[in-house]
Amino acid sequence: MQETQSEPTLNDKIVSVLKTVYDPEIPVDIYELGLIYDIRVNEEGHAHILMTLTAPNCPAAGTLPVEVEERVKSLPDIKDAEVEITFEPPWDKDRMSEAAMLELGFF
80 with 46: CB under 8 angstroms? yes
Domains (range + CATH), the chain: 10-86 (3.30.300.130)
pLDDT one-digit tens code per residue, 68-94: 999 999 999 999 999 999 999 999 999
pTM of the full predicted structure?
0.89
**Residue 41 pLDDT exceeds 70:** yes
pLDDT band at 4; cut points 50, 70, 90: low
State CA 44 to chain mean position distance: 21
Give the other-Cβ count within 10 Å of 14's Cβ: 25
63 with 72: CB under 8 angstroms? no
**Residue 2 pLDDT exceeds 60:** no
pLDDT value, residue 60: 87
Give the other-Cβ count within 10 Å of 78's Cβ: 19
pLDDT value, residue 81: 97
What is the SS3 string spanning 45-74?
Answer: CEEEEEECCCCCCCHHHHCHHHHHHHHHHC
pLDDT value, residue 68: 97
Give the other-Cβ count within 10 Å of 66's Cβ: 11
Residue of 97, 101, 82 lying closest to 19 (CA atoms): 97
